[in-house]
Amino acid sequence: MDALFYYDGQWMTENPKLLGPADHAFWMASMVFDGARAFDGLTPDLDLHCQRVIRSARKMLMEPKITWEEVQKLALEAVARFPAGEALYIKPMFFCADGFLLPEAGKTQFVLHLFKAPMPGTEGFSAMSQDEYRRPWSSMAPTDAKASCLYPNGQRATKAANAAGFDTAIMLDGDGNVAEFASSNLWIAKDGKIATPAANGTFLNGVTRQRVLALLRAHGAIVEERTITLEDVQNADEVFSTGNYGKVMHVNRVDDRKLEYGPAAQLCHKLYMDYAKSTGKR
């Protein structure tokens, strides 16, 4: 079994066909999701991801019929259906099939999708600077939700980066400062100081980002949330990311400059994994 789905009280292993052209989510994008991880019998911060998907649905004018606790319970039941310790991506989703201009909130639907996804290794990834595609301000898009409609601009930036021989792209905000990578939060280290862009409403303040910030501060590391420019990234001693898929991953190349897997990224990875282990197995 490579994937598992839950919809309308039923478990299934085949991708359910849920939408048609008349459905609101199909043509008006009333759809949100979240991403959590299971690995080595651990599900770190699953509760926070389940809470966020509820908030995201409400930000997108939907009204979930189930609580975050029920979402978490279903996710844990799904994890238990896979072999012990399997590395999985956990994706709870809400969408609306009914509505015209506005989604019919009372008919919000829930679906859960889990699939096998090995944790990345330590090889890192490459990132390209670009200014063609940017993150929108909160007055321009639902940036306070993990909404599917926010992802196409990052996809376009990623496609351009891939065509140039890179794994991902660096995204700027409306002022031309660094916001994040195309699908994860961005960090730099310079002269022993760690920094990440201040949450300004143009990018998702990730669960893993917030967790690593708290762990670094508890550890006594010097860490800042501040404005970061492309020049800061290009001149950094280290560049790395936080995000649900890979948790903490280092950048091995920014544009034409190669980078090492340095002590700051290694520290963040260790702190996170130690934290994950401390949460205990489910």
pLDDT > 90? residue 77:
yes
3-116: CATH number: 3.30.470.10
Select 125-278's CATH number: 3.40.190.100, 3.40.50.450, 3.20.10.10, 3.90.800.10: 3.20.10.10
Mean pLDDT of 85-93: 98
Question: Can you give the pTM of this predicted structure?
Answer: 0.95
Using CA atoms in the order 51, 269, 2, 115, what is the torsion angle rounded to 10 degrees? Answer: 20
**pLDDT, tens only, 193-215:** 999 999 999 999 999 999 999 99
Give the confidence band of 281 by pLDDT, cuts at 50, 70, 90: low
Break the chain into its structural domains and give their ranges. Answer: 3-116, 125-278
**Alpha-carbon gap, residue 179 to 186, rounded angstroms:** 7
Q: What is the pLDDT of residue 1?
A: 86
Give the confidence band of 62 by pLDDT, cuts at 50, 70, 90: very high
- Mean pLDDT of the residues in the chain: 97
Entry field: residues in the chain: 282
Mean pLDDT of 170-192: 97
Q: What is the pLDDT of residue 177?
A: 98
Mean pLDDT of 215-244: 97
